[in-house]
């Protein structure tokens, strides 16, 4: 369908506009598209009237195709030339989805009243659009407010999330810092505990001085120097002024070109002896005055406050360990001097060789209650004694000395080994009711080919015969000396032909914690039996050493060891006195 409109006046333009609107409405064009088309056409018609002349508007409608394709309404405006339309100067089209319905676009009223009504009704689409726009504006305003509120909520939520994230990051950072600090504290405490154990494990102050640098370098110091005030050799070398100040004041000193800010430490200028490196001088305290000073140079990482506190505490513990070690060494020297003074030289007896060994325990003050003795009786006999007072220390040593003196006094009046032990038992029970002892006594006489012996709670003697056979003299002994029990200790006799060797000993030689005493006695018997008769005859001292070596190879030496060898000569010649200690 095609309609053509000639436009020369305003009425022509209005009728053309009404025709286009009605044609679009008849073909079901939407209000928005229809209004858009009419508005654009109105603007072009206005321009055409302003320009003047005659114009031709063409309305062309194409219905939808049978296969469902959309139809179109095309509006074209062209200037009229020689009574016909020229090339369109403006053209617009809209799509339609349904064939036209209603009255034709050409039926536009001519009378003025109907024309005015038609013209005004043509703007109803605009009114509807405006109403819809008003509704949309209200809806947009509502949604805008809603969106604004939502945005405010989102912004507030973002702010809260950001604050929560910041707090969480701060908490994480604090937790990491706390974990790092806790790990550093744990590491320092572990080091302090391990170092303290290493320093107190030794009772030799020189070993402690050697261990201190090994513990501190390189983790907590680059170098370590220990100055003991009573060490004459060390005092000859010059000392930093900070070390002297630490001794004088008893406070740690830090000498450097800038303050260290270490707790409990005084700051001093750089040392003249070491101007290029900081020095931390910490006194080694004792109960009365500083024992010395330990001087440290810093490791790769500078010391922190916690490091300084830990180093000061370690120096305190090192000073106590060194002081205890020096006191122990002093007391040990006194104890060893006392112990050796209590052990007498062995007598010289024709036809009987004696060799003795005493080895103090490697732990403690090296003073105990083990003893041996040998002395002559008025009738020409010789008494050999091996004893062991329970316990260690000065009290045991003093008791051992009293027992030895009492035994010698009793032996002057004569008496058999059993009688002597019985009298010692009564003496010890009344003198020290809470102290006990074991002992074995063997009596030799040049006119007899036997040995008489008695034991009180002591390991049995071991006898080697001239042919190399060994047997343990395990006749039933008496009970320990000093126990609250009345007893008469019996004598025992064994054949002792020339070339025989009798071994007396204490339990420190044969007893092991893991296996008891019997295996040790068997090892002693084997070691004694392995000695050659000629060696026992010519070198009883060397035989004593050869017996001790394998016996003590696996021993921890936590008890004193005594061994007394008594050898009856083959030729009647006496081998000479034996050594009292080894």
User: Which range has the worst mean pLDDT, 22-26, 178-182, 215-219?
Assistant: 22-26
Whole-model pTM: value is 0.54
Read off the tokens for 41.
Answer: 């056409």
Contacting residues for 320 by C-beta, under 8 A, at least 6 apart: 285, 286
Q: pLDDT (tens digit, 9 = 90+) per residue, 7-46?
A: 888 888 888 888 888 888 888 888 888 888 888 888 888 8
Q: Angle CA(308)–CA(309)–CA(311) in degrees, nearest 5? A: 65
Same domain, 266 and 362: no
Strands 470-472 and 462-464, bridge-based pairing: antiparallel
Let me know if residue 49 belongs to a domain: yes
Same domain, 404 and 515: yes
Q: pLDDT (tens digit, 9 = 90+) per residue, 52-104?
A: 888 998 888 887 777 777 788 899 988 887 666 678 889 998 888 776 654 45
Q: Domain boundary at 83, 107, 122, which?
A: 122
* Residues 220, 301: Cα–Cα separation, whole Å: 9
- Looking at residue 364, what is its pLDDT? 54
- Looking at residue 355, what is its pLDDT? 95
Contacting residues for 317 by C-beta, under 8 A, at least 6 apart: 192, 195, 196, 199, 200
* Residues 534, 531: Cα–Cα separation, whole Å: 9
Query: 238: domain range?
Result: 202-336
Average pLDDT over every residue of 545-559: 80
Q: Domain boundary at 336, 362, 389, which?
A: 336
Same domain, 320 and 238: yes
Let me know if residue 57 belongs to a domain: yes
Q: Angle CA(97)–CA(102)–CA(105) in degrees, nearest 5? A: 90
On average, the pLDDT of the chain sits at 85
- Looking at residue 568, what is its pLDDT? 95
Q: pLDDT (tens digit, 9 = 90+) per residue, 453-510?
A: 999 999 999 999 999 999 999 998 999 999 999 999 999 999 999 999 999 999 989 9
Query: How many other C-beta atoms lie within 10 A of the C-beta of residue 234?
Result: 15
User: Which range has the worst mean pLDDT, 152-161, 235-244, 373-382, 487-496?
Assistant: 235-244
Quick check: 212 and 292 in contact, CB under 8 A? no
Same domain, 383 and 475: yes
More confident residue, 343 or 355: 355
- Looking at residue 146, what is its pLDDT? 86
Let me know if residue 155 belongs to a domain: no
Residues found in the chain: 582
pLDDT band at 182; cut points 50, 70, 90: confident
Q: Alpha helices, DSSP H only, in 343-435? A: 394-412, 417-431
Q: Domain boundary at 290, 305, 336, which?
A: 336
Number of domains forming the structure of the chain: 3
The CATH number for 496's domain is 3.60.40.10
Judged against a pLDDT cut of 60, whether residue 372 lies above it is answered with yes
pLDDT band at 292; cut points 50, 70, 90: very high
Let me know if residue 175 belongs to a domain: no
Same domain, 331 and 417: no
Same domain, 414 and 285: no
Read off the tokens for 280.
Answer: 């931390």
- Looking at residue 456, what is its pLDDT? 95
Closest by CA position to 359, among listed 559, 556, 173, 152:
559
Same domain, 362 and 332: no
Let me know if residue 441 belongs to a domain: yes
pLDDT band at 539; cut points 50, 70, 90: very high
Same domain, 361 and 314: no
How far, CA to CA in Å, does 423 sit from each of 86, 398, 489?
A: 163, 19, 9
pLDDT band at 576; cut points 50, 70, 90: very low
Same domain, 443 and 474: yes
Q: Angle CA(285)–CA(288)–CA(291) in degrees, nearest 5? A: 40
Average pLDDT over every residue of 349-363: 84
Percent of residues, the chain, with pLDDT higher than 70: 87
459 burial class (0-12, 13-18, 19+ CB within 10 angstroms)?
Answer: buried
Closest by CA position to 417, among listed 502, 517, 339, 509:
502
Q: Omega into 218 within 30° of 0, i.e. cis?
A: yes
Same domain, 391 and 368: yes
- Looking at residue 234, what is its pLDDT? 47
User: Which range has the worst mean pLDDT, 325-334, 535-544, 559-568?
Assistant: 325-334
User: Which range has the worst mean pLDDT, 10-24, 271-285, 378-392?
Assistant: 10-24
CB-facing half-sphere around the CA of 554: CA atoms within 13 A? 8
* Residues 390, 111: Cα–Cα separation, whole Å: 151
Same domain, 384 and 324: no
Judged against a pLDDT cut of 70, whether residue 416 lies above it is answered with yes
More confident residue, 2 or 213: 213
More confident residue, 526 or 329: 526
- Looking at residue 117, what is its pLDDT? 62
Tell me the β-bridge partners of 281. Answer: 253, 295
User: Which range has the worst mean pLDDT, 126-140, 378-392, 477-491?
Assistant: 126-140
Judged against a pLDDT cut of 70, whether residue 340 lies above it is answered with no
- Looking at residue 391, what is its pLDDT? 74
Radius of gyration of the chain (CA): 61
- Looking at residue 3, what is its pLDDT? 84
Quick check: 108 and 122 in contact, CB under 8 A? no
Let me know if residue 320 belongs to a domain: yes
Ramachandran angles phi, psi of 4, nearest 5°: -125, 135
- Looking at residue 236, what is its pLDDT? 61
- Looking at residue 310, what is its pLDDT? 93
Same domain, 400 and 472: yes
Quick check: 478 and 421 in contact, CB under 8 A? yes
Let me know if residue 577 belongs to a domain: no
Judged against a pLDDT cut of 60, whether residue 571 lies above it is answered with no
Average pLDDT over every residue of 424-440: 89
- Looking at residue 105, what is its pLDDT? 52
- Looking at residue 362, what is its pLDDT? 58
pLDDT band at 582; cut points 50, 70, 90: very low
Let me know if residue 326 belongs to a domain: yes
* Residues 66, 72: Cα–Cα separation, whole Å: 14
* Residues 528, 342: Cα–Cα separation, whole Å: 27
Strand segments (E) across 107-206: none
User: Which range has the worst mean pLDDT, 333-347, 481-495, 519-533, 549-563?
Assistant: 333-347
Classify 226 as helix, strand or coil. Answer: strand
- Looking at residue 407, what is its pLDDT? 93
Query: How many other C-beta atoms lie within 10 A of the C-beta of residue 66?
Result: 6
Average pLDDT over every residue of 385-414: 86
């Amino acid at each position: 369908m095609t309609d053509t409109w000639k436009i020369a006046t305003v009425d022509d333009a209005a009728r053309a506009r009404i025709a286009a609107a009605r044609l679009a409405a008849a073909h079901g064009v939407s209000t928005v598209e229809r209004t858009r088309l009419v508005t654009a056409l109105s603007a072009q018609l206005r321009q055409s009237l302003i320009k003047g002349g005659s114009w031709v508007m063409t309305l062309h409608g194409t219905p939808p195709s049978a296969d469902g394709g959309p139809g179109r309404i095309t509006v074209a405006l062209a200037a009229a030339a020689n009574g016909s339309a020229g090339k369109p100067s403006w053209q617009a089209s809209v799509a339609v989805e349904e064939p036209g319905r209603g009255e034709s676009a050409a039926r536009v009223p001519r009378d003025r009243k109907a024309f005015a009504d038609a013209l005004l009704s043509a703007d109803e689409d605009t009114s509807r659009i405006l109403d819809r726009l008003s509704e949309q504006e209200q809806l947009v305003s509502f949604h805008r407010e809603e969106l604004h509120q939502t945005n405010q909520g989102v912004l507030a939520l973002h702010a809260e999330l950001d604050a929560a994230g910041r707090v969480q990051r701060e908490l994480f950072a604090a937790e990491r810092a706390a974990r790092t600090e806790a790990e550093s504290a744990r590491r320092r405490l572990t080091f302090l505990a391990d170092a303290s154990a290493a320093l107190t494990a030794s009772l030799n102050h020189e070993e402690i001085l050697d261990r201190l640098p090994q513990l501190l370098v390189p983790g907590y110091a680059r170098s370590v120097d220990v100055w003991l005030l009573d060490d004459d050799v060390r005092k000859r070398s010059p000392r930093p002024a900070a070390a002297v100040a630490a001794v004088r004041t008893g406070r740690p000193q830090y000498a450097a070109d800038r303050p260290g800010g270490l707790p409990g430490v005084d700051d001093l200028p750089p040392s003249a002896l070491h101007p290029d490196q900081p020095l931390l001088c910490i006194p080694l305290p004792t109960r009365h005055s500083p024992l010395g000073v330990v001087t440290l140079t810093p490791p790769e990482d500078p010391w922190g406050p916690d490091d300084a506190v830990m180093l000061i505490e370690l120096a305190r513990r090192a000073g106590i360990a060194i002081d205890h070690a020096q006191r122990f060494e002093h007391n040990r020297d006194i104890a060893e001097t006392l112990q050796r003074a209590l052990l007498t030289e062995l007598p010289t007896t024709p036809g009987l060789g004696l060799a003795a060994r005493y080895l103090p325990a490697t732990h403690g003050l090296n003073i105990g209650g083990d003893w041996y003795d040998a002395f002559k009786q008025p009738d020409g006999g010789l008494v050999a004694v091996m004893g062991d007072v329970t316990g260690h220390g000065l009290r045991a040593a003093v008791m051992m000395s009293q027992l030895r003196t009492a035994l010698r006094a009793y032996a002057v009046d004569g008496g058999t080994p059993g009688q002597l032990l019985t009298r010692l038992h009564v003496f010890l029970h009344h003198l020290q009711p809470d102290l006990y002892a074991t002992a074995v006594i063997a009596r030799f006489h040049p006119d007899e080919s036997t040995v008489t012996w008695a034991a009180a709670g002591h390991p049995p003697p071991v006898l080697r015969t001239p042919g190399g056979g060994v047997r343990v003299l395990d006749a039933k002994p008496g009970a320990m000396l000093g126990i609250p029990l009345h007893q008469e200790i019996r004598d025992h006799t064994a054949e002792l032909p020339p070339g025989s060797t009798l071994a007396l000993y204490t339990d420190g030689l044969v007893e092991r914690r893991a296996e008891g005493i019997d295996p040790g006695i068997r090892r002693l018997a084997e070691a004694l039996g392995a000695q050659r008769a000629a060696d026992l005859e010519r070198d009883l001292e060397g035989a004593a050493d050869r017996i001790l070596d394998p016996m003590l190879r696996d021993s921890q030496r936590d008890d004193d060891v005594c061994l007394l060898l008594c050898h009856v000569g083959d030729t009647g010649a006496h081998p000479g006195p034996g050594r009292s200690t080894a």
